[in-house]
Amino acid sequence: MVGLLATEGLPAELAEDIADELPEKLSARRPEVEWRVELDRRPPTPRATNESELLRTAHRIRLRQGWDLAICLTDLPLRARRRPVTAYVSRTHRVGVVSVPALGAVAVERRVRDSVLRLVEALVRGRTDDLASSLGQTEVRGQGTVRFASAAVGRNLRLLFGMVRANAPARVILRLSRALITALGTAAIATANISVWQLSDGMTWPRLGVLTLASTVTTVLALILAHGLWERTDDPEAREQIVLFNVTTAVTLTLGVLALSGALFAINAAAGGALIPAGVLEKQLGHGSGVDNYLRLAWLVSTLATIGGALGSIAESDDAVREATYRYQPDETEDD
């Protein structure tokens, strides 16, 4: 029996996707074994900050559930001497850990499935030397634990992209209800404002682009400063990981705000075209109107609405904002 564990978010979604096909894939590799895979759909989320805590937590769950092996998928970015760690396997605990962010942001499901298959095979056979080419360079640690780390510089970028992917930037603003409601309310008011029509008519596309950049930066800074998302540490050993978390937070929020702006632009363009007759717009502008007038209006309105969303985000609870960023770690502890 193989137990499959996953922390909340992307790892849990991936575990759901691959759980059903794992027995068939494992049987194809080792047909002499009758494979069963059990997905713990509500695993206790450990307050794990390193691989040792993850291995111990997965080991306790494995014993409690009566599994022969356990594989844990985590969104924790594991690193060793400035190198991303893709996986750990402990023959003593009969547990494997896969760091989903270290696998990058592209074809994640396939990479996770292949990693799980290789870790299970390694635990069954008791050998890990042939996994180095696929999971990374093998480094033997104490108590029967083997770490797979990559020495390639590009893997650090892949880790960053993987962390951003795990954070689901497009969903960030959806999790912030007050910011979203404020942005939509601002858009509705601005679309009906004749002064905004006239302002948009005098806007050039480069000026609108600068305004969008300014509104994005304002929103991101408002979220970070109002809710204390920028982490600091006096521990030199943790400083590099803190920087990684901060960069991930900034990139995630930036992509989330840009996604909000894009969605608002599409909504405003459709709403403006449907609600504002061309004749009315031309009367207020004093000249003929075309598609570009509606597009500039939608762009300006979405920029103003994004700034309104920034103000609304200040009213969000700290927990809501932190849950929408990578740094958030639940406070729940596991019951033994």
Query: What is the β-pairing status of strands 79-80 and 69-74?
Result: unpaired
| Third-level CATH fold of 2-158 | Collagenase (Catalytic Domain) (3.40.390)
Taking only the tens place, the pLDDT of each residue in 131-176 is 555 566 565 565 567 777 665 555 667 788 888 887 777 777 666 6
Q: What is the reported pLDDT for 167?
A: 75
What is the pLDDT at residue 196? 92
Say how many C-beta atoms besides its own lie within 10 A of residue 143's C-beta: 10
> Residue 49 — very low, low, confident or very high, per pLDDT cuts 50/70/90?
low
- Helix axes of 154-166 and 10-19: crossing angle, nearest 10 degrees: 90
What predicted TM-score, i.e. pTM, was given to this entire model? 0.68
How many of the other CB atoms lie within 10 Å of CB of 185? 14
- Tell me if 297 sits within 8 A of 197, measured CB to CB: yes
Tokens encoding 328: 């958030």
Instruction: Supply the pLDDT for residue 335.
Output: 37
Q: Span 96-102, mean pLDDT?
A: 88
For the chain, the domains span 2-158, 167-323
State the Cα–Cα distance between residues 16 and 161, nearest whole angstrom: 22
Render pLDDT for 278-334 as a digit per residue (tens, 0 to 9). Answer: 999 999 988 888 899 999 999 999 998 888 877 777 766 666 566 656 544 433 333
